[in-house]
Amino acid sequence: MVKLLRASILSFLAVAVLAAPLRSQSFFAPDTNSTRLDRYAYVLGSSLVFSLGDYIGFNLLKKAHGEQGFKAPLFFRIAEGISQAVITYFLYKECGLSSAISFNLIWWTWGDDFAYYEWEQLLDFFPWDHRAGSGLRFREYDSAGWTPIGLTRPQGSEIARSTLIAQAVIGFSISMPILW
């Protein structure tokens, strides 16, 4: 845990130092009148809304089709992709390119999936299983092949929960200085 915390702090500091020259470039400068606080709020709020939509949509489909071995249908994944594109475009128009990049970096590094599992712990008033059999209960996950760590491994291989959490923390640590 200490190594994870140390790595997160070092990655945050490294990105903060590297982000300063990038921020001076007009490419990353927000082309809107949004404040720094606006950018943080929009990106974090967008990630929370996206993960909540994923959680509710997936569980409603899972409940309707039977819960054992349920895999999300293609139309659900396409709808997720469209909603991600809409959120990205909204962030770009409201807060600039840096906000759109930050949102997608949080998603790509498993941050929104981590939030999905936290929604399971917070929302126990929906009519499906909670707490006892939810959250980050598995030691390894095979559904994160699209993340940076997943892309470095053979397709379908399992990734340790601690590795995915570390990746999400590092992704979040990198995405926040981008908004500075």
Tens digit of each residue's pLDDT (9 = 90 or more) over 66-100: 767 788 899 999 999 999 999 999 999 999 999 99
pLDDT of 13:
52
pLDDT interval class at 3 (50, 70, 90): low
pLDDT of 21:
47
**More reliable by pLDDT, 16 or 65:** 65
Look at residue 24 and tell me whether its pLDDT is greater than 60.
no
List, in order, residues 6 or more apart from 103 with CB less than 8 Å away: 43, 46, 47, 87, 88, 91, 175
**More reliable by pLDDT, 127 or 35:** 35
Pick the closest to residue 108 from 160, 60, 170, 57 (CA basis): 170
pLDDT interval class at 102 (50, 70, 90): very high
User: Residue type at 58?
Assistant: F
pLDDT of 19:
52
Name 140's bridge partners.
160
SS (H, E, C) the chain: CHHHHHHHHHHHHHHHHHHHHHHCCCCCCCCCCCCHHHHHHHHHHHHHHHHHHHHHHHHHHHHHHCCCCCCCCHHHHHHHHHHHHHHHHHHHHHHCHHHHHHHHHHHHCCHHHHHHHHHHHHCCCCCCCCHHHCCCCCCEECCCCCCHHHHCCCCCCCEEHHHHHHHHHHHHHHHHHHCC
pLDDT of 128:
63
Q: What is the mean pLDDT of the chain?
A: 83
pLDDT in tens, 106-159: 999 999 999 998 888 888 766 665 544 556 777 788 889 999 999 999 988 999
pLDDT of 98:
95
Domain that holds residue 85: 2-178
User: For the residues 37-44, what does the mean pLDDT come to?
Assistant: 97
Determine what percent of the chain is predicted with pLDDT higher than 70. Answer: 76
Number of domains in the chain: 1
In contact, 95 and 38? CB cutoff 8 Å: yes
Burial state string for 150-170 with b = 16 or more CB within 10 A and e = fewer than 16: beeeeeeeebeeebbbbbbbb
In contact, 107 and 84? CB cutoff 8 Å: yes
